[in-house]
Chains A and B, each alone.
Chain A
Amino acid sequence: MLREGKIGVYEAICIVLMAITAKMFFTSPRELAEVVGPALWLEQLVAVFTALVGFLLVFQLMKRFPGQDLVSVFETVFGKILGGLVSIILAAAILFSSVLFTREFSEAVKAYAYPSTPPSMIIIFFLVPVLIMIYLGFETLARTVSSFIWFYVIGIISIFILAVPLYKYYNLFPLLDGGIGHIAKVGLKRCSVYGDILFLAVFINSLQGIDHFKKGALRSLLFSGAFIIASAFFFSQTFPKAVFVELTIPMFSITRAIEFGTFFHRFDSIYIFLWSISAILAAGVNLYVFTSIYCQVFRIKDQKPLVLPMGVIIFSLGLLLPSLTAIVDFLKFFRNSGWIFYFGIPILTLLVAAVRGMKGVKTGA
């Protein structure tokens, strides 16, 4: 078992908030706009509620096995080998998502800020702080994320405030583009955006009890949902659908469009800090979850020796992806079917546990 230390509800919220909301800086909003148009924010509303239901089922599972984290719950329910396999499938999904995210980030940085820099160099620079954080451990990671969270929140709010002159309310119409059924269907599938909430179940022993887990998860879902819905709302107001679907990274385009007089313009560069830092921290969280699951499954007591090999693997996998188009396709697949891993596996575990009548032992703690 890794010695992961203790974190509070505040740190738990920060971790999940960062992991979930960092995605909206990249290609996902555009891809969704293609599917649901100006109803993007309504689709996210459905996704949040779906994720909430999913989380409540995960909570039931964790409540059934008090004092156990997700990996050990899998092992209890499915047995050591099958449970380990299930954990590894989940870890692989998280690793795959991290690799996609890393490459997506490097392509975005290359496209918008450093066109002549090779992606390999950007990935190396990106991975160094990520690996350092994983090396320093979970407590450090949680504190680092929580130390940047206000900078991040204020940064995003400032974008939405500075972009007020760009908002055109009529861009929100047709409000239910594609119909309610279509929006609901997409929303149900896209609840995987909020699947990172499952990370708290992996770190449940670092939180102080099941109540903190519930409190942390619900609050982080609330905040990240509010953030993403607000972003989607403002994106839809800023760009008409025809323009929106042409933008690779809508958030970046908003920051580029902000200007006040001749002196304050081209703010996009300053926001490189915002999306670089958030991407690094989100990747750090994802990869730490992968490391933690991996160490638990294989009974590794120290994550430090894994850091460098993991860096090499992610770097190599990241470069194997051929182009931004291929990355977008992979992401589309993962965002549509990620719920199978994030919510599907725990719900299946809950069902099996219920059918077999399995319960954990309630400890005095």
Chain B
Amino acid sequence: MAKEKKQGFFAKLGSIFAYRPPEHDTFVLPELGDEESLRAAPEEIEKAAGLKNYMDQDDLMKAAAEKEKDENKNENKGKAKDGDEIEKEIKGQTRAGLLRRVRSRKEPGEEKQKADVDEKNVPDQTSKEETGIFPDINFSRELIKKELNVPASVDVVVRDFKLNGKVDAFVVFIDGMADRDAINNFILRQLMNRSLYDKYDGGSMCEYVKENVLSVHQIADLKDYDEAVSQVLFGVTVLFIDGAGKCLAIDTRGFEKRNIDKPGMEAVVKGSQEAFTENLKTSMIQIRRIIKSKDLVNEFLTIGGMDKSGASIMYIRGITSPSLVKEVKRRLKSIKADFVMGDGMIEQFIEDDPWKILPQVLNTERPDRVASHLMQGRVAILAEGAPLALVVPATLSILLHSPEDMHLRWQFGTFLRIIRVFAMLVATLLPAVYISLVNYHQEMIPTELLVFIASSRDAVPFPSIVELLLMEVSFELIREAGIRVPGIIGTTLGIIGALILGQAAVAANIVSPILIIIVAVTALGNFAIPSYPLAFAVRVDRFFFIALAASLGFFGMSVGLVMLGAMMCSLQSFGVPFLAPAWPRTQDSGDLIIRKPLWKREKRPDELNALNKIKQPRISRGWVKGEPPPGEKE
């Protein structure tokens, strides 16, 4: 123990003497150093970001830099300062100064430190110098406090105590993010229980504590302050021990979370009735519970700069194309925004073409749907704080599928898919067709119907396009208001509002009755689209087609159709064409519009380039053809 303390002292001295200012004196946040914009001088960053509190520290930083220059001079003179002076210096420095000091301590002074070690023949010294954790606990405490803004941040707890009544230690955690019971009963009580140190033979205290004292299921060694801080922010408790060149991350994550509930957007009659929650861990477990395969890989990443949002990538090793996984990771890791919250924001950062209106990522709140796509060779991205998972690559066909299709017999599944395609066409084109017919192509309407439409429009003072836009905009308003108005009133407002408004508008001769039917059927078509982002795109496209139809009838609509077709054909999701497997044509996996019987779906989608393209053997129903399994002969 004494040796460890001694090493800490030498390492500290070494780092102070070894300090060399970086080439560009920049206030750089961890992990963001390569971004061109962040290479600007600290003042520019702070001014651009309007961070006044950072500006206040400017003078302190300059002072720290001057002190560091003095230290370099002292190094030349060969004078060493005592521990008290160093502590005072630490307290007076900024976070940046402290971090710089830790990072640079190995560079020029490394040889000197090694020489000191050789001279004094202190064993096990070099291994500690390789780590990024400073062995002096006072230094670590000050650094952590500065990093986590203690005492300004009242929820960050830094608890000091002694191990075995002798060795200084402290734990740091965020109150509310970490489980109090676990900390009180299985960490602090254990650590301060002297009887547990009876077998301690003077070796590494850190290792002893990990192996003999703490009774917590998951402990990891951390060798970097940045990592320690980010773990604390995720709800982990971090234990620092004086003289140790590492710290321990103890999993105590336990914050309030919502229970698993029924899916709100993707309800089904047959099939699973559970949805994701905002808790990343729960969501991951929900998927693991469905796919009990050793090949299901779950990789964790932190995204963004300041908020360090957590995200998980899930895929199946041996099925998913490695290049797809690599591309997903590349895109996620490249996100350099200070705040990336949930699936919606991640989606916007990783999609192929943000200028196109159609979704390029599948959002789903259903673990069973994610599991089924993982088994096909896609990659799922789960984000902290989001009750939806992202599945990539997404094609139009999977956006039109519902998880229920698989639970129904193939004839019904196919029927539902055809209905959905029809619904999408109706939702996009019906109002535009109406406008074209009444404005340009009246000859096509049968005489009886034409007379009815004309008589119903007789008292309406507006042209049909104004009439249609009034109703469409009113409907959009009702829809938006229905979502915003809380609870049951919202639902009621949606239905009653539409009925009353429609009835009143007809009675007031503002719109014709046939238009109410057109708008209602259009809305039904829109609701029948299983993907919310796709339904949204259709809502917007509808207005585009209305404008074209009002300009040039069916010819205008044809122009719009070609433009929409070209846009869809040029769209890609993680390199996979949006209209695959139809355009370009790839091998049929039996899952486009006609849902083949389950026993005939032998292959995974060709466009995904799965490593294992075969999903099941040609004869998947062993009882129909071929030899029965051994021991089961009739």
Contact = CB atoms under 8 A, between A and B. Distances in A.
Interface of A: 7-8, 10-11, 109, 113-114, 117, 121-122, 125-126, 128-129, 132-133, 136-137, 139-141, 143-144, 146-148, 262-270, 272-273, 276-277, 280-281
B56 interface: no
A280 B554 contact: no
Interface in B559-594: 559, 561-563, 565-570, 577, 579, 582-585
Nearest to B441: A269
Given A263-B446, A281-B562, A273 B557 contact: yes
A15 B557 CA distance: 22
A266 to B, nearest CB: 5
A140 B562 contact: no
B570 A114 contact: no
Contact of A273 (B561, B577, B582): B561
A236 to B, nearest CB: 27
Contacts of B552: 114, 117, 121-122, 125
A89 B560 CA distance: 33
A270 B444 contact: yes
B565 A276 contact: no
B558 interface: yes
**What is the predominant secondary structure among interface residues of chain A facing chain B?**
helix
Contact of A143 (B555, B558, B559, B579): B579
Nearest to B584: A143
Interface string B539-556: 000000000000111111
Interface of B: 440-441, 443-444, 446-447, 551-559, 561-563, 565-570, 577, 579, 582-585
A272 B554 CA distance: 6
A11 B569 contact: no
B151 to A, nearest CB: 58
Contacts of B556: 125
A277 B579 contact: no
Nearest to A280: B562
A349 B443 CA distance: 53
A136 B566 contact: yes
A264 B570 CA distance: 37
Contacts of A265: 446
B569 A143 contact: yes
Nearest to A113: B555
9 contacts: A125-B551, A128-B559, A133-B562, A136-B567, A140-B566, A146-B583, A262-B446, A264-B446, A276-B558
Contacts of A113: 440-441, 553-555
A147 B569 contact: yes
A121 B548 CA distance: 12
A267 B565 CA distance: 24
A132 B553 contact: no
Instruction: With a 10 A CB-CB cut-off, give which of A122, A133, A269 has the most chain B CB atoms.
Output: A269
**What is the predominant secondary structure among interface residues of chain B facing chain A?**
helix
Question: Which 7 residue pairs spanning A and B have beta carbons closest together?
Answer: A276-B558, A143-B569, A269-B441, A129-B562, A140-B570, A272-B554, A269-B444
Contacts of B551: 125
Contacts of B585: 8, 10, 146
Contacts of B555: 109, 113-114, 122, 125, 272, 276
A10 B583 CA distance: 10
A148 B552 CA distance: 21
Given A128-B559, A129-B563, A143 B554 contact: no
Given A128-B563, A140-B570, 20 more contacts: A8-B585, A113-B440, A113-B555, A114-B555, A121-B552, A125-B555, A125-B556, A125-B559, A126-B559, A132-B566, A136-B570, A141-B566, A143-B577, A143-B584, A144-B565, A144-B569, A147-B582, A269-B440, A276-B559, A281-B562
Contacts, number: 104
A7 B567 CA distance: 18
A114 B566 contact: no
B566 A129 contact: yes
Contacts of B565: 144, 147-148
A273 B552 CA distance: 12
A72 B570 CA distance: 28
A273 B558 contact: yes
Nearest to B446: A263
Nearest to B444: A269
Contact of A280 (B443, B559, B567, B579): B559
A297 to B, nearest CB: 26
A146 B569 CA distance: 10
Contacts of A148: 562, 565
A114 B553 CA distance: 9
Given A113-B555, A272-B553, A277-B558, A266 B566 contact: no
A123 to B, nearest CB: 12
A146 B584 CA distance: 8
A303 to B, nearest CB: 14
Contacts of B561: 273, 277
Instruction: With a 10 A CB-CB cut-off, give which of A133, A143, A146, A266 has the most chain B CB atoms.
Output: A143
A277 B562 contact: yes
A129 B559 contact: yes
A21 to B, nearest CB: 17
Contacts of A132: 563, 566-567
Contacts of A277: 558, 561-562
Nearest to A130: B562
B583 A273 contact: no
Contacts of A7: 584
A143 B583 CA distance: 6
Contacts of B584: 7-8, 11, 143, 146
A140 B441 contact: no
A118 to B, nearest CB: 11
A41 to B, nearest CB: 29
A279 to B, nearest CB: 9
Contacts of A266: 443-444
Contacts of A143: 569-570, 577, 579, 583-584
Nearest to B551: A125
A136 B562 CA distance: 13
A193 to B, nearest CB: 23
A276 B555 CA distance: 6
Contacts of A128: 559, 563
Contacts of A129: 559, 562-563, 566
A341 B588 CA distance: 41
Contacts of B583: 143, 146-147
Given A129-B559, A147-B565, A269 B554 contact: yes
Nearest to B568: A147
A133 B566 contact: yes
